[in-house]
Amino acid sequence: MIKIGSKFPEFNLKAVVSSELDSAFIDINNKDYQGKWMVVFFWPKDFTFVCPTEIAEFGRKNDDFEDRDAKVLGVSVDSEFVHLAWRKDKAELNDLPFPMVSDIKRELSSELGIVNEAEGVSERATFIVDPDGMIRFVMVTDLNVGRNVNEVLRVLDALQTDELCPCNWHKGEETIQV
């Protein structure tokens, strides 16, 4: 798996940004996010049970990420057409405020080292990437266990202080002064 401090791989992928067919699809690449914090999270498959709980929560918290000048991207190995169908089918995904990105060729997942060989899907992985394109945080959970979006926000807050942050630190609390 790619390491903290590595450059996030370049990508050029299809994404779904709307539930309406005439405005659903866009091309998306890493250059679109230069100079911004990125939170890139991967889920194993569309039309499953744990994944929509996480995707919907990232959607509900999107304004919190935007307030921190961070762009959220959700990614799976499903096609953009499957993303659109799922988005239309699942009420909590209808109006997501971030792109659902298709890594159907598994190129980005492979470069990141997060392809689950047994299942042929991306691991349930989350990356925080700084404005210089460097990976600053990686979290991977078992395919059956959803992640905690509040923890991703907490770590983003800590990284953005550029200070030493103790265990369980939250935004507004004292950092460690050396």
- List the catalytic residues: 51
What Cα–Cα distance (Å) separates residue 144 from each residue in 61, 82, 125, 151, 153?
22, 21, 12, 18, 22
- Cα 169 to Cα 15, 68, 109, 155, 165: the distances in Å are 34, 17, 31, 9, 6
Q: How many Å apart are CA 71 and CA 96, to the nearest integer?
A: 13
Q: How far apart are CA 73 and CA 54, in angstroms?
A: 12
Q: Answer whether 145's CB lies under 8 Å from 151's CB.
A: no
Q: Name the DSSP class of 27.
A: E
d(CA 140, CA 109): 13
Rounded to whole angstroms, the Cα distance separating 28 from 34 reads 12
Q: Judge whether 122 and 137 are in contact, CB under 8 Å.
A: no
